[in-house]
Amino acid sequence: MAAIKIEARGVTMAYTDKAGRSLPVLREVTLEVQEGEFVCLLGPSGCGKSTLLNILAGFEAPEEGEMRIDGRSVTGPDPRYLTIFQNYGLFPWRSVLGNVEYGLEIQGVPASRRRATAMEYLRLVGLLPFAHHHPRQLSGGMQQRVALARALAVDPDVIFMDEPFGALDAITRIKMQEELQRIWQQKKKTIVFVTHDIDEAVYLADRVVLFTSNPGRIKTVISIPISRPRDRSSPDFAALRDQIFTAFQMKQEGEPGEPEYYI
Amino acid sequence: MQRLERIFLSMAGLAGALTLWQVLAWAGLYPRYLFPWPGDVLQCVSQQLRQGVLGEHIAVSLFRFSGGYLAAAVVAIPLGLLLGWWRRLWVAVDPLVQVLRPISPIAWLPLVTLWFGIGDLPAIVIIFMAAFYPILLGTVTAVKNVDPVYIKVAKNFGASGRHILWRVIVPAAFPYITMGLHFALGTAWVFLVAGEMMGVRSGLGFLIIDARNSMDTGLVVAGMLVIGLLGLAIDRLFGWLERLACRRWGIVEEEGSRWPR
Ligand SMILES: Nc1ncnc2c1ncn2[C@@H]1O[C@H](COP(=O)(O)OP(=O)(O)OP(=O)(O)O)[C@@H](O)[C@H]1O
Ligand SMILES: [Mg+2]
């Protein structure tokens, strides 16, 4: 019996534009994430996925609604619930090792133990030989792995990822997905993962949360009951991919509706 | 472009300028005592060098310059960090800075000599004023332009406000602060002569004014030339230090190795 880790109840959010009008971004979003679950947020650009993630991670407060993690109200960012950003957010003035040590440094972990832990996580993401490089000497995929190692090093319960592989080429992307899945299975973290990519969502998620826009709200939630590691060419995989396509009305079936998702 | 070609081209440019100078001198628009020949200037320089006075003037000027410049950096960088970090304070101070900044340090000269008397101090103050605003504005801009994602990351890991300022904002802004410092170096050097035109009896600015008063135009041009060459040397030295620091900061020019050897 897995416990509920993250709970969003009726989260509503609006931004005010320059003319002072209120732009609804999220309306009545209610979502539960189980402990150890991998949930993907999937939806068209501008539907408020990043906004929801920012609220979950405590960087922004919702206008209405309630946010709880571990039963406690979210009031601000917390090292137990870490966000990995799309542009990695690595500190260019620190070496790869220095970046991975960062969170431990803030927690006051002594230098020698800090170094050992950081090295361990660099090994986990396969970047041990690059410990003394600067982040900008690494490729995008490698930088994303440094960001992952930096987050894992402080042993968080929850990892929020906002289109982490969005900037990577297709091959690197698939490698990173495989690696993330391996690490997730090994470390048993709860992961909330924003993506644009339907295949990525079907490959990674236990459940895919589909969003529609204007204002952003949850359209439907689709469970992915395929055992791991998943085979992208299996019929099950194709069926679930189809189900998502249909849900976004991108497939012409029966009554033609306005497509909600443009690629 | 090849290094050799670069050297050749800049030599050719210099030679062209020298030739033009000599041709203009031969054209005789002004008599020689008003329009010195290149040879005259060279003679002045070597004569000054032999007497050892040129070295003294240079040393005094460099002392005043570095005094004013370093003082400006010491005051303007912390102030800029504060103003860049604390938006409300900047909004309050910005109009004042915008009004004061266009006032040339030369316009301050009468007051500066009244307040600081004669000697090294007025010259140092003028250099200080010339360097102050570029360093201040460079630092404020640097802090404002720090990628907010760095601050988000630091907050997420539980960093305190003081930690964020010293361990995130300062290193993130550092390369751009350095750019402000570099820019201020050039701006302030220009005002060296102005600072040494009154109230002192030494320095390159004084050398020029003094030579003019004794109608020694060769020496005037020699002084100008020395200021130009020293300015160039200082700029290059700073550029070299800047590259060194940037490499330390991981802002590598692309020749850096991508793979471990
Ligand atoms: N700080 C802000 N101020 C005003 N409007 C904002 C702000 N942040 C986001 N928005 C608006 O809110 C809406 C949702 O933005 P959000 O970034 O959450 O979308 P998204 O689903 O993550 O899109 P994408 O897939 O393109 O990243 C957009 O219309 C955006 O313009
Ligand atoms: Mg987004």
pLDDT digits (tens, 9 = 90+) for A8-55: 999 999 998 888 888 889 999 999 999 999 999 999 888 999 999 999
Domain-embedded: residue A112: no
Domain-embedded: residue A136: no
Per-residue pLDDT band at A259 (split at 50, 70, 90): low
- For residues B115 and B49, give the distance between their C-alpha atoms in angstroms, rounded to a whole number: 35
Quote the pLDDT of residue A260.
55
Quote the pLDDT of residue A18.
86
Quote the pLDDT of residue B66.
96
Quote the pLDDT of residue B250.
63
Q: Which amino acid is at A230?
A: R
Residues 5-44 of B with CB under 8 A from A: none
In terms of DSSP bridges, do strands A72-73 and A64-69 run parallel, antiparallel, or are they unpaired?
antiparallel
Ligand nearest to the CA of A209: 1
Q: Name which of B43, B41, B42, B23 is nearest B218 in CA terms.
A: B41
In tens, the pLDDT along A143-191 reads 999 999 999 999 999 999 999 988 888 888 998 899 999 999 998 899 9
Residues 153-172 of A with CB under 8 A from B: 154
A143-A147-A150-A156 Cα dihedral, nearest 10 degrees: -160
Mean per-residue pLDDT, B213-239: 92
Q: Name which of B202, B194, B32 is nearest B113 in CA terms.
A: B194
**Residue A205 per-residue DSSP state:** -
Mean per-residue pLDDT, B65-78: 96
Quote the pLDDT of residue B261.
27
Mutate to test the pocket of ligand 1, among A51, A54, A262 (most ligand atoms within 8 A of CB): A51
CB of A129 within 8 Å of a chain B CB? The answer is yes
Residue A255 has pLDDT above 60, yes or no: no
Which single residue is written with the structure tokens 């103003």? B83
Residue B252 has pLDDT above 50, yes or no: no
Q: Where does residue B251 rank: exposed (0-12), middle (13-18), buried (19+ CB within 10 A)? A: middle
Quote the pLDDT of residue B254.
38
Spatial contact of A5 and A35, defined as CB atoms under 8 Å apart: yes
Quote the pLDDT of residue A96.
95
Which single residue is written with the structure tokens 């906002």? A162
Domain-embedded: residue A52: yes
In tens, the pLDDT along A191-218 reads 999 998 999 999 999 999 999 888 888 9
Residue B147 has pLDDT above 70, yes or no: yes
Quote the pLDDT of residue B232.
94
Check CB contact under 8 Å for A130 and B260. yes
Quote the pLDDT of residue B157.
96
A–B: how many Cβ contacts below 8 A? 72
CB of B249 within 8 Å of a chain A CB? The answer is yes
* Ramachandran category for residue A88: left, alpha or beta (phi over 0 → left; psi -120 to 50 → alpha): left
Backbone angles phi, psi at A221, to 5 degrees: -120, 130
Please tell me chain B's helix, strand, coil percentages from 3-state DSSP, rounded to the nearest 5.
80, 0, 20
Spatial contact of A27 and A12, defined as CB atoms under 8 Å apart: yes
Higher pLDDT, B24 or B253: B24
**Residue A159 per-residue DSSP state:** E
Spatial contact of A39 and A207, defined as CB atoms under 8 Å apart: yes
Domain-embedded: residue A32: yes
Domain containing residue A18: CATH number: 3.40.50.300
Mean per-residue pLDDT, A116-133: 93
Going from the Cα of A130 to the center of ligand 1, the distance in angstroms, rounded, reads 35
Give whole-number Cα distances, A43 to A49, A178, A210, A213, in Å. Answer: 7, 22, 6, 8
Higher pLDDT, B252 or A226: A226
Chain B residues in contact with A137 (beta carbon < 8 A): 250, 252, 256-258
Q: Which value, in Å, is the radius of gyration of the alpha carbons in chain B? A: 23
Q: Report ipTM for this prediction.
A: 0.87
The residue extents of the domains of chain B are 52-248
CA distance B159 to chain A (A): 6
Domain-embedded: residue A219: yes
Quote the pLDDT of residue B28.
85
Domain around A242: 1-80+196-250
Q: Name which of B123, B112, B134 is nearest B67 in CA terms.
A: B123
Quote the pLDDT of residue B244.
86
Spatial contact of A79 and A107, defined as CB atoms under 8 Å apart: yes
- Number of structural domains (chain A) is 1
At a CB cut-off of 8 Å and minimum separation 6, what does A239 contact? Answer: none
Domain-embedded: residue A96: no
Residue A62 has pLDDT above 70, yes or no: yes
Quote the pLDDT of residue B259.
33
CB of B252 within 8 Å of a chain A CB? The answer is yes
In tens, the pLDDT along B196-207 reads 988 888 999 999
In tens, the pLDDT along B171-193 reads 999 888 999 999 999 999 999 88
Quote the pLDDT of residue B257.
32
Check CB contact under 8 Å for A85 and B257. no
Quote the pLDDT of residue B246.
78
Residue A234 has pLDDT above 60, yes or no: yes
Quote the pLDDT of residue A248.
82
Ligand nearest to the CA of A49: 1
Domain-embedded: residue A160: no
* Three-state DSSP state, B258: coil
CATH of domain B52-248: 1.10.3720.10
